[in-house]
Amino acid sequence: MTNISSLGEFGLIRRLTADIRPQNPSTRYGIGDDAAVLNFAKDPHTRTLVTSDILLEGVHFNLEYVPLKHLGYKAAVVNFSDICAMNGTPTQLVVALGVSKRFSVEDLEELYSGIRLACDQYGVDLVGGDTTASMTGLTIAATCLGIVDDKQVVFRNGAKPNDLICCTGNLGAAYMGLQLLERERIVGEQDPERAQAAFEGKEYILQRQLKPEARRDVIAALRKAGIIPTAMMDISDGLSSELLHICGQSQVGCAVYADRIPIDFQSAAMAEELNMDIVTCALNGGEDYELLFTISQKDYERIIAIDDVSIIGYITRPELGCNLVTREGNEIPLRAQGFNAFPEE
């Protein structure tokens, strides 16, 4: 008997899906990227994207501090983010819920109000789902469809040596928000009389944790600028883990500069307060839902004209490995220490 934690989530998926070969002409690309790429059009250029995420109570969220409306919003947006990461536009969402008895109809209306707000904000149609009882907690399985032109679709496997590595926004904020919520939860348990949690001046990192956004603004800006990334994915498990995915699937190496990784001041202050290293948090924190992508050097002038995109390093030949270059100029191999859905005991 093989313990799942000995393989990890990605090893497990590889083992379960290794020799799956698509049979239908409408399947252009199956397992292995942020979304599958399908072709339902007789017109040869329209592609349909499909992606699915499952969120489980006690693993992905804690209802002690996550409001149901925010949870619904997040469950939708993390799927939109996967569609954006294929350079596509999300169009339809299907949500399947498992709900235990402790939830009321009003609770589910709250959850749905968040799902629907996200759909409204992103112009996505909620087209179906399934709602059933659960013996335990709350389960949210969401599947998102989207569209993309076949000349625009971006996979994880196209990064080439000398390509520039870019990321959007800033990293580590969602993780610092989670640390803050966890700290306040524990303080609240120890001192139930306390008037309210100490969230002042930390609103940004809270929002990054509780109400993430998909970077369709950057997708639109890239399109407007005529830039098609050579590889792209969204940062859900931490920068290190995602860089290793892109480099692995593209069969290249990378050098990422620690002092180029964009970090918000609230994240840095929170890390300071908690005695944590913010670069480590940015590398391994996860849930930022920013985009990580690589572009050809010829696009340099065009990329620096786009707001909220940082160039953090470059792609190398595979034999050079995947490295973080510290402020002192030392190279440290990147390791995937992101969110582990199957922790060892």
- Total chain residues near a copy of itself (CB under 8 A): 80
**In this structure, are strands 322-325 and 253-257 parallel, antiparallel, or unpaired?**
parallel
Torsion of CA 181, 187, 191, 193, to 10 degrees: -30
Q: For a copy of itself, which is the closer residue by CB, 136 or 162?
A: 136
Which one of the spans 23-31, 191-199, 201-209, 227-235 is the region binding a copy of itself (CB under 8 A)?
23-31
Q: Is 87 in the site for a copy of itself (CB under 8 A)?
A: no
- 291 contacts a copy of itself (rule: CB under 8 A): no
| Closest approach of a copy of itself to the CB of residue 249, in Å | 15
Contact status, residue 106 vs residue 258, Cβ threshold 8 Å = no
Task: Compute the radius of gyration of the chain from its Cα atoms.
Answer: 20
Residue 221 in 3-state DSSP?
Answer: helix
By CB under 8 A, tell whether 336 contacts a copy of itself. Answer: no
Q: Find the binding residues for a copy of itself in span 45-84 (CB under 8 A).
A: 46, 48, 50-54, 56-60
Contact between 159 and 316 under an 8 Å Cβ cutoff? The reply is no
Segment contacting a copy of itself (CB under 8 A): 158-166, 193-201, 293-301, 337-345? 337-345
Q: What is the DSSP letter of 238?
A: -
Of residues 54 and 311, the one with the C-beta less far from a copy of itself: 54
Which tokens in the block code for residue 166? Answer: 């870019």
Dihedral over Cα of 279, 284, 287, 292: its sign: positive
- Site for a copy of itself contains 305 (CB under 8 A): no
Of residues 218 through 277, those in contact with a copy of itself by CB under 8 A are: none
Q: Is there binding between residue 182 and a copy of itself (CB under 8 A)?
A: no
The answer to whether 141 and 95 have CB atoms below 8 angstroms apart is yes
Cα gap 297→302, rounded to integer Å: 10
137 or 158, CB closer to a copy of itself?
137
Residues 96-155 close enough to bind a copy of itself by CB under 8 A: 96-99, 101, 103-106, 108-109, 112, 116, 123-137, 139, 141, 143, 145, 147
Alpha-carbon distance of 166 to 334, in angstroms, equals: 17
Gap between the Cα atoms of 144 and 77, Å rounded: 10
* Nearest CB to a copy of itself, comparing residues 44 and 226: 44
Amino acid occupying residue 52: S
Nearer to a copy of itself, 60 or 208 (CB): 60
Q: How far is Cα 253 from Cα 171, in angstroms, rounded to an integer? A: 21
Residue 18 or 195 with smaller CB distance to a copy of itself: 18
Interaction between residue 85 and a copy of itself (CB under 8 A): no
Say whether residue 14 binds a copy of itself (CB under 8 A). Answer: no
Q: Does 30 bind a copy of itself (CB under 8 A)?
A: yes
Tell the residue number behind the tokens 């049979």, with chain if given.
23
